[in-house]
Chains A and B, each alone.
Chain A
Amino acid sequence: MAQRRISGGKLFITGEMCTATDGERAVPVNDLLDRASQRSDKMHSLSTLLTQEMDSHFPPYGRMQMPRPADCHTSALQTPNDKEQALQVSESDLMSLARSLLQAWVDPLAVLSTSAITLPHPSKSSISSKIQELQEHSKSLADGLDILSGKMGPSAQAISFLPYTGGTDLGQDRVTILNKFNFLLSCLRRDSHKIDSFLKVLRCRAAKLQPELC
């Protein structure tokens, strides 16, 4: 498990990073961050709706029996857990964290997508379409963050490896399948919220002259 330390102090994005490089068409960093934040916001919204849709019909576990969030495959990644901590993390680290989390969900989303088609749930079609939408947003956001991290330096481009070990099969019986599905969705909701929060902090920090973006 990769351990990332939260480095103190603040790094600022130099002017060099803010401008176009390598003759590419210049898109301002603020604009890229804004677009990235909108995508992550959409992802978080979708994952929240998914969990609500699942719970509305079939809360499988009691509160004590449900798998703990510590069991999420991304729980090893150390992330800031409050505002003070988040404001102290450097932009590169924040970017790195966001990218790592995003990368960690590529495989599980694929598993969820295939499982949703045969999910023993009355709203499975709606769930399935939302998961597909999530996949598209995730892919697009990953591409955008790749470009952004390229402007921010090497530390921003480092990605922690967080493999998913749950396998492609969620279970055999209906209850197991549904519980696993529920658990994965709750982990997804937490991680998508982290990504969203980090990117929005980045966006606000980068747009010092535009406080309305915060």
Chain B
Amino acid sequence: MYNARMRTHLGLVILCVLSAARVCSSTSAPESPRKFDCRSREKETFSCWWEPGSDGGLPTEYRLFYTQERLREVRECPDYVSAGANSCFFDKKHTSIWAEYTMTVVATNALGNASEEFRITDVMEYVKPDPPVNVTVVVNSSAPSPFLEIRWKSPPDVDVRTGWVTLKYELRVKQNDSKEWKTVDIGSETFFNFYNVYPGLLYMAQVRCKLDHGKWSEWSNTIFAEIPKNHQVEKYFWIFVFVFSLIPLLMGIYILLLKRNVVKQCLLPPVPGPKIKGLNAHLLKSGRSEDVVNALMGNQNFPPVAAWTEQVEDFLLVSDSDEWLLTDSFASEKNKDIFIIPAGLHLGLEIQCRDLSVDLNTWEKTDDSKEEAKSNFLNMEPINLPVEKHEFLNGEEMSIQPLANTSYVDIQQHPTLTDYSRVKEVNDNTILILNEEEIPHGLDAEEVKSEVSVPDDYSRVKEVNSDVVFLEKGDSADGCCKKKEDHYTDWTNQKPIMPLESELSKGFCLKMIASGYVDSGPAFSVK
């Protein structure tokens, strides 16, 4: 019995001990706290936090005791709550700047306690203010360039009115899509004008502060601002560019206008047209067919046309048919020679017959109304004349020039007049003009008449050198207007009779022609 009870008690004791031992192994005295840190926001109060160690599985209580420099007594933390868990808050009454604090944090639980000592040399080492508040950014769009007006306020719990605290700020600005901040040291002011901004971009700004050369606060909230695009500046810019680009354009147009002849020469070079020797395009345009005829037939040695009115007219009846010859009525009345010309003979000659157009009409109408001396018998065949005019000559010497497509023959009388001067020698390349005594083939009868009455004031060309070229078309300008000084005298006749002109010397020669004077200046030389 004894042993059984003893054994039971012993077992229970062992059990108790064992259980107690188990309990003891899972719980323990707390570890000492570690990591002590403090912070003062305004140089008037401060808070401290510790990091608790293991609590040993038991509820653990933490207490803070401190001593101050020069204070002998040990005080306990006045406020465990305001700064959060595991903290101690020292209010103004319990805060001493420049004084050393020795903090002792004690962790206590059922099984024991642990403590750790921390030393705060100077509360100022832990000063870190709150960031500035009420940060505002306003875009100022005044001239000459926009800028940001950035304003803020000091942290609310910092007293800046007494001089006890000196706050210094720092500002940073960046573009929304840029990575680099532009930082500015502000000093103690609470505003700043930031000028390095460009229209159309979005900017963000932040401010922070530090107290008495302590630690910097966190950055404030980010404030965004967008610079509006300055359309007026752009408009002025484009107007400016437009005006400036107009100036060279206008100058170019002005220069072009001044030199339009040169430009015309460049852009539209004169197209050389076909040149027929002796043919002047201007003459064709002007429509004086007699000039054209002169031009075309200028090389012919046509004798001058005599005024037919003063001549006794002898008419020849010409026919290419035998029937015509057989009619006695006509043949007997006239003593004329009859020429028969084969119809196939063509001569590319033109006959001018201006003055006789009236007579021509009379012939066509009636045969009877004409006087014998002046009547012309025409072939009954229709008249197909290459030209409208005919010339009827009369004279002793006649040359027959058959007309193309007609059966008429132009009878020319060889020159017998002495009033007309003759060109003794005419080169192929030359056509003398301004010699109104020479009657080219294309002269009208009227003109012939008028020249008959030309007084003797006219001098005569005695000799025309082959080198003398007078307004010849196609030759070089050098050849133009060369004259013999000795052989030319003043002309009083103002009539321009030149069928041919050289384009190059047109102006000069025309001038001479118009005045009727031959320039005997030294510019001309005659070989």
Q: How far is the CA of A82 from the CA of B160 in the complex (A)?
A: 15
Q: How far is the CB of B166 from chain A (nearest CB, A)?
A: 6
Chain A contacts for B100, CB-based, 8 A? 68-70
* CB-contact partner of A82 in B92, B166, B188, under 8 A: B92
Closest to B190 in A: A212
* Contact (Cβ within 8 A) B163 A204: yes
* Contact (Cβ within 8 A) A211 B164: no
Q: How far is the CB of A48 from chain B (nearest CB, A)?
A: 5
0 or 1 for each of A36-52: is its CB under 8 Å from B? (1 = yes): 00000100110010000
Q: How far is the CA of A200 from the CA of B166 in the complex (A)?
A: 8
* Contact (Cβ within 8 A) B162 A87: yes
* CB-contact partner of B159 in A68, A75, A83, A186, under 8 A: A83
Interface residues of B in 127-175 (CB under 8 A from A): 159-164, 166
Closest to B42 in A: A83
A209 is an interface residue with CB less than 8 A from chain B:
no
If A44-B212, A193-B98 touch, whether A64 touches B119 (CB-CB below 8 Å) is yes
* Contact (Cβ within 8 A) A190 B98: yes
If A82-B44, A82-B92, A82-B96 touch, whether A69 touches B164 (CB-CB below 8 Å) is no
* CB-contact partner of B213 in A45, A87, A201, A204, under 8 A: A45
If A81-B96, A200-B166 touch, whether A193 touches B119 (CB-CB below 8 Å) is no
Q: How far is the CA of A159 from the CA of B43 in the complex (A)?
A: 27
B54 is an interface residue with CB less than 8 A from chain A:
no
Q: How far is the CA of A90 from the CA of B95 in the complex (A)?
A: 21
If A201-B163, A204-B163 touch, whether A193 touches B212 (CB-CB below 8 Å) is yes
A5 is an interface residue with CB less than 8 A from chain B:
no
Q: How far is the CA of A81 from the CA of B92 in the complex (A)?
A: 11
Q: How far is the CB of A162 from chain B (nearest CB, A)?
A: 15
Q: How far is the CA of A186 from the CA of B119 in the complex (A)?
A: 14
If A70-B70, A201-B162 touch, whether A82 touches B117 (CB-CB below 8 Å) is no
Chain A contacts for B293, CB-based, 8 A? none
Chain A contacts for B188, CB-based, 8 A? 212
0 or 1 for each of A62-83: is its CB under 8 Å from B? (1 = yes): 0110101110000100010111
Closest to A41 in B: B166
Q: How far is the CA of A214 from the CA of B166 in the complex (A)?
A: 8
If A69-B69, A82-B92 touch, whether A194 touches B164 (CB-CB below 8 Å) is no
* Contact (Cβ within 8 A) B213 A44: yes
Interface size of A by CB at 8 A reads 35
0 or 1 for each of A9-41: is its CB under 8 Å from B? (1 = yes): 000000000000000000000000000000001
Q: How far is the CB of B218 from chain A (nearest CB, A)?
A: 20
B99 is an interface residue with CB less than 8 A from chain A:
yes
Q: How far is the CB of A210 from chain B (nearest CB, A)?
A: 12
Interface residues of A in 85-137 (CB under 8 A from B): 86-87
Q: How far is the CB of B92 from chain A (nearest CB, A)?
A: 7
Most A CB contacts (10 A, CB to CB) among B100, B119, B121, B213 go to: B213
B359 is an interface residue with CB less than 8 A from chain A:
no
* Contact (Cβ within 8 A) A83 B44: yes
Q: How far is the CB of A184 from chain B (nearest CB, A)?
A: 14
Q: How far is the CA of A197 from the CA of B99 in the complex (A)?
A: 15
* Contact (Cβ within 8 A) B122 A197: no
Chain B contacts for A70, CB-based, 8 A? 69-70, 100
Chain B contacts for A201, CB-based, 8 A? 162-164
0 or 1 for each of B90-132: is its CB under 8 Å from A? (1 = yes): 0010011111100000000000000001110110100000000
* Contact (Cβ within 8 A) B213 A48: yes
* Contact (Cβ within 8 A) B162 A83: yes
0 or 1 for each of B33-52: is its CB under 8 Å from A? (1 = yes): 00000000001100000000
* Contact (Cβ within 8 A) A190 B44: no
Q: How far is the CA of A126 from the CA of B178 in the complex (A)?
A: 36
A151 is an interface residue with CB less than 8 A from chain B:
no
Closest to B95 in A: A82
A203 is an interface residue with CB less than 8 A from chain B:
yes
0 or 1 for each of B382-408: is its CB under 8 Å from A? (1 = yes): 000000000000000000000000000
0 or 1 for each of B207-223: is its CB under 8 Å from A? (1 = yes): 00000110000000000
Beyond the given A82-B95, A205-B163, A212-B188, please list 11 additional residue pairs across the A-B interface where CB-CB is below 8 A: A63-B118, A70-B69, A70-B100, A83-B159, A87-B162, A190-B124, A193-B98, A193-B124, A194-B98, A201-B162, A211-B161
Interface residues, chain B, CB within 8 Å of chain A?
Answer: 43-44, 69-70, 92, 95-100, 117-119, 121-122, 124, 159-164, 166, 188, 212-213
Closest 4 CB pairs of A and B: A204-B163, A81-B96, A200-B163, A201-B163
> Can you list 21 pairs linking A and B with CB atoms under 8 Å apart?
A64-B117, A64-B119, A66-B121, A69-B100, A70-B100, A81-B96, A81-B99, A82-B96, A82-B97, A83-B43, A83-B92, A84-B92, A87-B162, A87-B164, A189-B122, A193-B212, A194-B98, A201-B163, A203-B163, A212-B188, A214-B162
Interface residues, chain A, CB within 8 Å of chain B?
Answer: 41, 44-45, 48, 63-64, 66, 68-70, 75, 79, 81-84, 86-87, 186, 189-190, 193-194, 196-197, 200-205, 211-214
